[in-house]
């Protein structure tokens, strides 16, 4: 594993970006529009409900002090409704329409992301938990480019926010089996999965936090110590006992519905010290000199990991910056943090990068890399 390099990062910002203050206003208005449609509220009652939702959104959401902006492939948040035409569909359009929107956006992404590629990778892993269409955008790309005899497509689906690390484990196995390069592409379209008719605090947290993320990168053998990238040193994963209901991501009539237990930061905090100690021992690095790529399930996750591991703010800076600039992009978030650390001249070559991410199970997944 020490000769495996994570490299060739390329991210695409979804077309429609909205600053968080505007996004939260849209969210309050969307909940009011849904309620008005469902209950036939007159203008005064609708306005009163919108004010109530603004108070609830302000109380429970992740505010502009933690997230500057979020982006979506949908125009609904900036120009006009497609999925969230709430006067006609109070919960938003159904799963069939959302799946069609996912397919169109993902097909367009793969076409654009590989437009300049002339030599196909032997392996392509498509990572997502926010849509399921067969053939996938990755398969369509390979078929349309005539790469079917040269490129194998693997789908790493439905793992949630931690999926980048299991996907790297798959990629490392392919290299061990003789592949010369494995591309990994994440297409997380979280904004397809809102239900504005659900006004619960839990869903306001989710709806204020998630965003869309599109990124690709590669795992390949390191040709020399001077190649830019992150050298893969160790991977580990465990499912915590008695935690199966702490985080869920299930198909509903209006897309995918996420539920999050309030005590997830505490559950993670109870095990993360031992987990990181074992991970760093396996990689033979010291956590004290590492930068940390902590999946920002929310600001409290970063806070809890920092507190338990006694990290400096500098060590988790990249995680906070990606959350602030993009929100939670599910599995696409860790690769954005890796890309930032790789490009940061303040992070010296040789610096260990400890990655942590969490998902349904409750699963804690980790990895250690070394910056080259």
Strand 123-128 relative to strand 182-189, pairing: parallel
DSSP 240: P
Instruction: Supply the pLDDT for residue 1.
Output: 60
Q: Helix, strand or coil for residue 348?
A: coil
Instruction: Supply the pLDDT for residue 318.
Output: 98
Could you tell me if 105 and 192 are in contact, meaning their C-beta atoms sit under 8 angstroms apart? Answer: no
Instruction: State the residue range of the domain holding 249.
Output: 230-371
Residue 147 has pLDDT above 90, yes or no: yes
How long is the chain? 372
Instruction: Supply the pLDDT for residue 260.
Output: 80
Q: How far is CA 67 from CA 25, 64, 173, 298, 328, in A?
A: 14, 5, 36, 10, 9
**pTM of the full structure:** 0.96
Residue 226 has pLDDT above 80, yes or no: no
Instruction: Supply the pLDDT for residue 2.
Output: 62
Could you tell me if 183 and 7 are in contact, meaning their C-beta atoms sit under 8 angstroms apart? Answer: no
DSSP 328: B
Least confident segment among 7-11, 261-265, 312-316 = 261-265
**Which two structure tokens, joined as six digits, stand for 41?**
């509220």
Q: What is the mean pLDDT of residues 157-161?
A: 94
Over residues 186-197, the pLDDT tens digits come to 999 999 999 999
Instruction: Supply the pLDDT for residue 265.
Output: 87
Residue at 189 is within a domain: no
CATH number of the CATH domain containing 300 = 3.40.47.10
Q: What is the mean pLDDT of residues 156-165?
A: 95
Residue at 177 is within a domain: no
State how far the Cα of 192 lies from the Cα of 101, in Å rounded to an integer: 8
Strand 4-12 relative to strand 212-221, pairing: antiparallel
Sign of CA dihedral 353, 71, 211, 70: positive
Residue at 204 is within a domain: no
Residue at 302 is within a domain: yes
State how far the Cα of 352 lies from the Cα of 116, in Å rounded to an integer: 32
Exposure class string for 122-145: b at 16+ Cβ within 10 A, else e: bbbbbbbbbbbbeebbbbbbbeeb
Residue at 36 is within a domain: no
Over residues 76-119, the pLDDT tens digits come to 999 889 999 999 999 999 999 999 999 999 999 999 999 999 88
Q: What is the mean pLDDT of residues 48-52?
A: 97
Closest-CA residue to 215 (of 117, 70, 332, 71): 332
State how far the Cα of 273 lies from the Cα of 265, in Å rounded to an integer: 13
Residue at 152 is within a domain: no
> What percentage of residues in the chain have a pLDDT greater than 70?
99
Q: How many domains does the chain have?
A: 1
Sequence-ordered alpha helix ranges (H) in the chain: 20-39, 43-60, 95-113, 137-145, 164-176, 201-209, 264-283, 299-309, 317-326, 333-343
Q: How far is CA 168 from CA 17, 77, 249, 326, 352, in A?
A: 29, 33, 22, 23, 17
**Which two structure tokens, joined as six digits, stand for 62?**
């992740």
State how far the Cα of 364 lies from the Cα of 360, in Å rounded to an integer: 9
Least confident segment among 67-71, 182-186, 299-303 = 299-303
Instruction: Supply the pLDDT for residue 225.
Output: 73
Least confident segment among 2-6, 10-14, 34-38, 111-115 = 2-6
**pLDDT mean across residues, the chain:** 95
Residue at 268 is within a domain: yes
**Residue 41 pLDDT level (bands cut at 50, 70, 90):** very high
Residue at 170 is within a domain: no
């Amino acid at each position: 594993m020490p000769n495996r390099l994570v490299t060739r990062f390329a991210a695409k910002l979804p077309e429609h970006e909205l600053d968080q203050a505007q996004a939260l206003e849209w969210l309050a208005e969307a909940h009011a529009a849904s309620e008005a449609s469902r209950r036939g509220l007159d203008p005064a009652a609708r306005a009163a409900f919108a004010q109530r939702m603004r108070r609830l959104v302000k109380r429970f959401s992740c505010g502009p002090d933690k997230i500057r902006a979020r982006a979506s492939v949908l125009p609904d948040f900036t120009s006009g409704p497609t999925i969230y035409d709430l006067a006609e569909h109070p919960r938003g359009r159904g799963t069939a329409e959302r799946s069609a929107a996912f397919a169109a956006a993902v097909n367009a992404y793969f076409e654009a992301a590989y437009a300049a590629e002339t030599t196909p990778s032997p392996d392509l892993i498509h990572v997502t938990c926010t849509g399921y269409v067969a053939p996938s955008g990755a398969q369509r790309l390979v078929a349309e480019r005539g790469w079917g005899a040269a490129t194998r497509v693997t789908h790493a689906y439905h793992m949630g926010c931690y999926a980048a690390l299991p996907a790297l484990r798959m990629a490392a196995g392919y290299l061990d089996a003789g592949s010369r390069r494995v591309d990994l592409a994440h297409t997380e379209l979280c904004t397809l999965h809102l239900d504005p008719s659900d006004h619960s605090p839990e869903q306001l947290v989710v709806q204020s936090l998630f965003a869309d993320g599109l990124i690709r990168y590669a795992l390949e053998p390191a040709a020399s110590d001077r190649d830019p990238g992150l050298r893969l040193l160790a991977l580990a994963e465990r499912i915590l006992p008695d935690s199966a209901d702490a985080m869920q991501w299930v198909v509903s009539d209006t897309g995918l519905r996420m539920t999050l237990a309030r005590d997830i930061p505490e559950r993670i905090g109870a095990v993360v010290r031992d987990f990181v100690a074992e991970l760093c021992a396996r990689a033979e690095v010291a956590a004290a000199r590492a930068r940390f790529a902590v999946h920002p399930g929310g600001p409290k996750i970063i806070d809890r990991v920092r507190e338990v591991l006694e990290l400096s703010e500098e060590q988790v800076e990249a995680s906070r910056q990606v959350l602030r600039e993009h929100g939670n992009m599910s599995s696409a978030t860790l690769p954005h943090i890796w890309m930032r650390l790789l490009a940061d001249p303040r992070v010296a070559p040789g610096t260990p990068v400890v990655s942590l991410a969490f998902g349904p199970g409750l699963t804690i997944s980790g990895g250690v890399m070394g910056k080259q």
